[in-house]
Amino acid sequence: METIGVGLIGTGYMGKCHALAWTGVRAVFGDTPVVRRVALCEVEESLARRRADEFGFESSTSDWRALVANPSVDVVSITTPNAWHAPMAIAALDAGKHVWCEKPMAPALADAERMATAARAAGRVAILGFNYIQSPAIRYISKLLQRGAIGSVTHFRIEMDEDYMADADAPFSWKSEKSAGYGALDDFAVHPMSLISTLFGMPSEVFGEMRKPYADRPDGAGRRPVENFDIATILLRMGDGASGAIQVSRCAWGRKGRLQLQIFGAKGAILFDQERFNEVSVYLAEGPTEGHGFRTVLMGPTHPPYDRFIVAPGHQMGFNDLKIVEAHELLNRIAGKPSLTIDFDAGLAIEHAIHAAARSAAEGRWVEAWPCRTNLAGQPAKSAEISL
Ligand SMILES: NC(=O)c1ccc[n+]([C@@H]2O[C@H](COP(=O)([O-])OP(=O)(O)OC[C@H]3O[C@@H](n4cnc5c(N)ncnc54)[C@H](O)[C@@H]3O)[C@@H](O)[C@H]2O)c1
């Protein structure tokens, strides 16, 4: 394929990141088809037109079904609120398009199942926007683990904190609606799960806890009840005997984009924090004890794919670069090349673990992470329907 046609649905926070990724991927990697930005969709015509102009798309529409039906579109980027992921992804796959869908897969487990089924039936590539697995630091950590640098992993902890909803008077948005899912679990905990799935494999059992710090938020002239949970904790048991913990909060004042990973092994430890994501700290329990301590390794051209962005060490990558790497991995996968991606089947395992955590939070017991096929009433799980 010499040219690939892209359609983008949604142009908010993540939509712009996808647009930048599609704009930059060929310039950065050089080995991709020419990316043709064919069509862009927003809820409203004039906004769609303006964004198409800014992002360099050939056409715009307010009808996502028209975008999905466009014969010049080969791959659809879906960056709309969570509740839209399933209908848009399934329609795109049914129309024979490849799909790059933002996380989470879908708030309803049955919808996530339908998305995975549609991808299998279509035989097209369908991946999720788990950008953090794409960083050179995570690849370096994976390499360290694989070569046994810290021995067998005994325990890990991942915390993901931001403060964009820390203010009790932060306005109500779709992210506080039940239709968006459980809250911090769908918004944040899926990211640590993507790292766990990439570095260690999925947990066997989980124990969850969810909290709602503020009962309502400003909405128009009044206040509207918050429908999901801004804080969550998951304990994890891994099949090999290791244990882990995920703690996430959208209400953690001062934390802007913290995604801190601590991995402890029999012979050492590894630390990483997305707020300083060009650095990996490694502690090796070897040699004279007096010299023990964390050593910080700065990511540079020897940590792929940093070198594709800039040849000079010390100049650092940023968040949007992860999206460019993700677009490249997607294009690799479409071309049948090796690729690091979380496809809809792997994403489904993450969704099961998230639903299992929510179920555990409601029932106060350990729950098998896979499969979590029933809701609290023992019926096929179809939506985020847990209240504490
Ligand atoms: N990968 C990440 O790190 C990351 C970070 C933030 C958000 N996300 C995910 O990205 C998705 C979007 O989140 P966001 O923060 O960009 O939201 P946002 O509210 O900033 O943007 C959503 C956009 O979609 C548009 N939209 C809504 N319904 C539409 C429809 N039917 N047709 C066309 N456009 C429509 C909205 O007008 C808006 O511009 C969510 O699923 C979220 O979980 C991922």
Asked, for residue 341, whether it belongs to a domain, the answer is: no
Q: Which of 131, 155, 177 is the last residue of a domain?
A: 131
Asked, for residue 367, whether it belongs to a domain, the answer is: no
Q: How far is residue 139's CA from residue 280's CA, in Å, rounded to a whole number? A: 11
Question: What pLDDT was estimated at residue 382?
Answer: 40
Stretch 113-122: mean pLDDT: 96
Asked, for residue 196, whether it belongs to a domain, the answer is: yes
Question: Mutate which of 102, 173, 177, 321 to test ligand 1's pocket (most atoms within 8 Å of Cβ)?
Answer: 102
Reported as a single tens digit per residue, the pLDDT across 37-88 is 999 999 999 999 999 999 999 999 999 999 999 999 999 999 999 999 999 9
Structural domain count, the chain: 2
Amino acid identity at 284: L
Residues 290 and 241 in one domain: yes
Residues 162 and 29 in one domain: no
Amino acid identity at 342: I
Residues 142 and 264 in one domain: yes
Question: What pLDDT was estimated at residue 240?
Answer: 86
Q: Which atom of ligand 1 is nearest to the CA of 15?
A: 16
Do the strands 258-265 and 243-249 form a parallel or antiparallel pair, or are they unpaired?
unpaired
Residues 33 and 149 in one domain: no
Angle at which helix 109-122 crosses helix 85-94, to 10 degrees, equals 10
CA–centroid distance, 28 to ligand 1, in Å, is: 25
In the chain, pLDDT over 90 holds for what percent of residues? 94
- Which CATH number is 69's domain given? 3.40.50.720
CA–centroid distance, 220 to ligand 1, in Å, is: 21
Residues 74 and 108 in one domain: yes
pTM for the complete prediction? Answer: 0.95
Stretch 12-24: mean pLDDT: 98
DSSP bridge pairs for 9? 41, 78
Evaluate if residue 378 carries a pLDDT over 50: no
Q: How far is residue 175's CA from residue 80's CA, in Å, rounded to a whole number? A: 11
Q: How far is residue 165's CA from residue 240's CA, in Å, rounded to a whole number? A: 37
Give residue 1's pLDDT band: very low, low, confident or very high (50, 70, 90): confident
Residues 299 and 151 in one domain: yes
Asked, for residue 380, whether it belongs to a domain, the answer is: no
Residues 246 and 197 in one domain: yes
CA–centroid distance, 379 to ligand 1, in Å, is: 30
With beta carbons less than 8 A apart as the criterion, state whether 38 and 341 touch: no
Ligand 1 within 6 A of 64 CB?
Answer: yes
Residues 304 and 158 in one domain: yes
CA–centroid distance, 175 to ligand 1, in Å, is: 10
Give residue 374's pLDDT band: very low, low, confident or very high (50, 70, 90): very low
Q: How far is residue 109's CA from residue 94's CA, in Å, rounded to a whole number? A: 20
Q: Which atom of ligand 1 is nearest to the CA of 319?
A: 3
In the chain, pLDDT over 70 holds for what percent of residues? 95
CA–centroid distance, 44 to ligand 1, in Å, is: 14
Instruction: Name the more confident of 371 and 192.
Output: 192
Question: Mutate which of 67, 78, 80 to test ligand 1's pocket (most atoms within 8 Å of Cβ)?
Answer: 80
Asked, for residue 46, whether it belongs to a domain, the answer is: yes
CA–centroid distance, 80 to ligand 1, in Å, is: 4
Q: Which of 66, 97, 131 is the last residue of a domain?
A: 131
List the strands of the sheet with 75-78, edge to edge.
59-61, 34-41, 3-9, 75-78, 98-101, 126-128
Stretch 174-202: mean pLDDT: 95
Reduced to 3 states, what is the DSSP secondary structure of residue 210? strand
Which value, to the nearest 10 degrees, does the dihedral of the CA atoms of residues 130, 134, 140, 141 take? Answer: -10
Q: Which of 131, 162, 190 is the last residue of a domain?
A: 131
Question: What pLDDT was estimated at residue 386?
Answer: 41
Reported as a single tens digit per residue, the pLDDT across 328-344 is 999 999 999 999 999 99
Question: What pLDDT was estimated at residue 370?
Answer: 80
Reported as a single tens digit per residue, the pLDDT across 224-256 is 999 999 999 999 999 888 999 999 999 999 999
Evaluate if residue 349 carries a pLDDT over 70: yes
CA–centroid distance, 20 to ligand 1, in Å, is: 15
The domain in which residue 70 lies consists of: 3-131
The stretches of the chain forming alpha helices (DSSP H) are 13-29, 45-55, 64-69, 85-94, 109-122, 136-146, 184, 190-199, 306-309, 319-334, 344-363
Ligand 1 within 6 A of 132 CB?
Answer: no
Asked, for residue 328, whether it belongs to a domain, the answer is: no
Question: What pLDDT was estimated at residue 371?
Answer: 66
Give residue 388's pLDDT band: very low, low, confident or very high (50, 70, 90): very low
What are the tokens at 315? Answer: 């100049």
Residues 80 and 127 in one domain: yes
Reported as a single tens digit per residue, the pLDDT across 119-136 is 999 999 999 999 999 999
Evaluate if residue 174 carries a pLDDT over 80: yes
Question: Mutate which of 9, 14, 320 to test ligand 1's pocket (most atoms within 8 Å of Cβ)?
Answer: 14
Stretch 99-121: mean pLDDT: 96
Question: Around Cβ 316, how many Cβ atoms within 10 Å?
Answer: 17
Asked, for residue 179, whether it belongs to a domain, the answer is: yes
Residues 161 and 18 in one domain: no
Residues 60 and 113 in one domain: yes
pLDDT averaged over every residue in the chain: 94
Asked, for residue 226, whether it belongs to a domain, the answer is: yes
Evaluate if residue 381 carries a pLDDT over 70: no
Ligand 1 within 6 A of 48 CB?
Answer: no
Residues 47 and 140 in one domain: no
- Which CATH number is 160's domain given? 3.30.360.10
Reported as a single tens digit per residue, the pLDDT across 267-294 is 999 999 999 999 999 999 999 999 999 9
Question: Around Cβ 122, how many Cβ atoms within 10 Å?
Answer: 18
